[in-house]
Amino acid sequence: MSISGEAIIGGVHERGAAGSFKAWDPARRDYLEPSFHMVDAAQIDRACTLAGEAFDIFRSTTDRQRAAFLDTVAEQILALGDALIERAMAETGLPRMRLEGERGRTCGQLRLFAELLREGSWRDARMDTALPQRTPPRPDLRYHLIGVGPVAVFAASNFPLAFSVAGGDTASAFAAGCPVVLKAHSAHPGTSELVARAVVEAVRLCGLPPGVFALLTGTGNGIGQALVRHPAIQAVGFTGSRSGGTALMAVAAARSQPIPVYAEMSSINPLIILPHALGDRGADIGKGFAASLTMGVGQFCTNPGLVLAVDGPGLDAFCGAAGEALVAAPAAVMLNQGIAESYRKGVAALHTNDAVTTLARVEHDEGQGGAALFRTSAEQFLARHELHDEVFGPASVLVVCRDLAQLREVVEGLEGQLTATLQIDPADHDAARALLPLLERRAGRILANGFPTGVEVSSAMVHGGPFPATADGRSTSVGTGAIARFLRPVCYQDLPQALLPEALRDDNPLGIWRRKDGALTKE
């Protein structure tokens, strides 16, 4: 399947009118054909306007129809075959197995939202019975959630499939009945075009209005800002850098009608090793940590960029095992030149920072990332804010604390995080119990005796966390909870049965769970 380098607006391929760029092959270190054409302001406006016009038609489809649509998107992605995997490999430098796994995750995610739609309780349907004899009489009240409107989705660089064109943001917005205007990541525009074609074909096969989905191509900040400013756009999903996310938050807040931004941005994912676990399993934890840190060349949002431990038995074993495993891990190609260059600078800054010592550092060629582990004291970490910043890639800082009280102080000084991990033995439970409230306030997911990389797509997952981990700590961007970001409640008072949405009719034609006078029932 040849790649056209075009945007897709209203279901039709269209050449961007604002210049062109090419994708980069980070392994071959060369540009890839063909050129991609950047959309201009009029094209952005048209994509958003069509999304606005498609919204009422799309959201008035039945839940089963939208479920079938999501399943069809998954089928169409699989139908792209190996061409998708090969293009993604060329554009990202990621290995085949990883990309095949990510394709499975992407399709599984679409099907999970399809299941959620069929189950039905995502609508949070509620009914309060009329009490005509009461003074004053109580009316008949019914409540459910509907989509917020068209969503602008900004694809991530580090998951060219699962957090990209048909990734979690798109899947959850579609499930909610919201059209999506997608800004492709300029690092993998060919992969994006292929997946976008699959989505467009699913839109066509399911008889949906073509405005339900658009693919915008381009580089730089202008497209994103125009997109977030557009009056038809009602919410934003973003995965990327802290500077990019906060810039979009500012644009959204400055609109005459402000809109919510769900930006997943920055996290150093503290791994906290409590004393008994360190003493008993220091070397094992070091090995597991190194594997988590180097997985995918450290290019995960949940990469463990910070380790906290109390000085004592096991610390040397941890450092030795971690350092040995890190040095043994080969340097590897990073996703793109920008990431590799940022990583090189971040590691060099830590290496020359007089507050840290270097425990391990793997030399690497241009465009690659080699693992690095640094060590500092709690005092230095508390005093030097630059040590709190994310270095995206396989680098981490070990902060050695004098005692548990000082470790607590370090945790209190941390910003919001996607995850926090505790390595604990039963003898550490009291110390862990005392830390949990601090961690709950700072992280979306708390792990015990594991490592933070690996984010399950399921009902109970939270991939979110207080700012700056995300723009909005009340949300998750992975798992079925992600749909809540794109929903708002509407109440109907005394509306005749004939005019009520199916989910709220007396006879419960969808057979879903509903809350009647406060109590859950399927009646």
Site for a copy of itself in 256-275 (CB under 8 A): 257-258, 260
Interaction of residue 116 with a copy of itself, rule CB under 8 A: yes
List the interface residues with a copy of itself, window 67-96 (CB under 8 A).
none
Q: Name, in order, each residue with C-beta under 8 angstroms of 117's C-beta and a sequence gap of 6 or more.
A: 63, 64, 66, 67, 70, 175
Among 64, 345, 436, 506, contact with a copy of itself (rule: CB under 8 A)? 436
Question: In terms of C-beta density within 10 A (0-12 exposed, 13-18 middle, 19 or more buried), how is residue 27 classed?
Answer: middle
- By beta-carbon proximity to a copy of itself, the closer residue of 84 and 512 is 512
Q: Does 447 bind a copy of itself (CB under 8 A)?
A: yes
What is the pairing mode between strands 368-369 and 395-401? unpaired
**Does position 385 bind a copy of itself by CB under 8 A?**
no
Does 212 sit near a copy of itself (CB under 8 A)?
no
What kind and span of H or E run contains 429? Answer: helix 429-442
Of 449, 455, 454, 474, the residue nearest 464 (C-alpha): 474
From the list 144-152, 186-194, 311-319, 370-378, the region that binds a copy of itself by CB under 8 A is 144-152
139 binds a copy of itself (CB under 8 A): yes
Residue 521 binds a copy of itself (CB under 8 A): no
Place of tokens 């609109």: 255
**Is residue 250 a contact point for a copy of itself (CB under 8 A)?**
yes
- Let me know: does 451 contact 304? Beta carbons within 8 Å: yes
Of positions 16, 26, 149, 369, contacts a copy of itself by CB under 8 A: 149
Candidates 75, 115, 379, 409; binder of a copy of itself (CB under 8 A) is 115
**Tally of CB atoms within 10 A around 109:** 26
Sign of the torsion angle spanned by Cα atoms 455, 456, 458, 461: negative
Q: How far is CA 289 from CA 132, 259, 449, 468, 493, in A?
A: 64, 39, 11, 24, 55
CB-facing half-sphere around the CA of 391: CA atoms within 13 A: 28
Residue among 158, 183, 169, 152 nearest 52 (CA): 152
For the segment 477-496, give every residue that binds a copy of itself (CB under 8 A): 480-481, 487-496
Residue 123 near a copy of itself by CB under 8 A? no
Contact 487, 475 (CB under 8 A): no
Residue whose entry in the numeric block shows the structure tokens 């470790």: 407
116 versus 317: smaller Cβ distance to a copy of itself: 116
Q: Is 440 in the site for a copy of itself (CB under 8 A)?
A: yes
Is 146 a binding residue for a copy of itself by CB under 8 A? The answer is yes
Q: Is residue 460 part of the contact set for a copy of itself (CB under 8 A)?
A: yes
38-57 residues in contact with a copy of itself (CB under 8 A) are 55-56
Q: Closer CB to a copy of itself, residue 253 or residue 328? A: 253
- Range list of β-strands (E), 217-285: 235-239, 261-264, 270-273
Q: Is 26 in the site for a copy of itself (CB under 8 A)?
A: no
User: Is 427 a residue that touches a copy of itself (CB under 8 A)?
Assistant: no
CB of 57 to a copy of itself, least distance (A): 9
Q: Can residue 448 be called a binding residue for a copy of itself (CB under 8 A)? A: yes
Q: Per CB under 8 A, does 118 bind a copy of itself?
A: no
The token pair at 326 is: 């890190």
- Asked whether position 383 contacts a copy of itself by CB under 8 A, the answer is no
Compute the Cα dihedral for 270, 326, 352, 298 and give only its sign.
negative
Smallest gap from residue 4 Cβ to a copy of itself (A):
35
Name the minimum Å distance from CB 41 to a copy of itself.
24
- Could you list the active site residues? 264, 301
Q: Cα–Cα distance between 461 and 444 in angstroms, integer?
A: 9
Q: In the set 445, 477, 483, 503, which binds a copy of itself (CB under 8 A)?
A: 445
Instruction: Kindly identify the residues of this chain, within the stretch 396-425, that bind a copy of itself according to CB under 8 A.
Output: 416, 424
Compare residues 400 and 422 and give the one whose CB is closer to a copy of itself. Answer: 422
Query: What is the DSSP annotation of 168-225?
Result: HHHHHHHHTT--EEEE--TTSHHHHHHHHHHHHHHHHHTT--GGGEEEE---SSHHHH
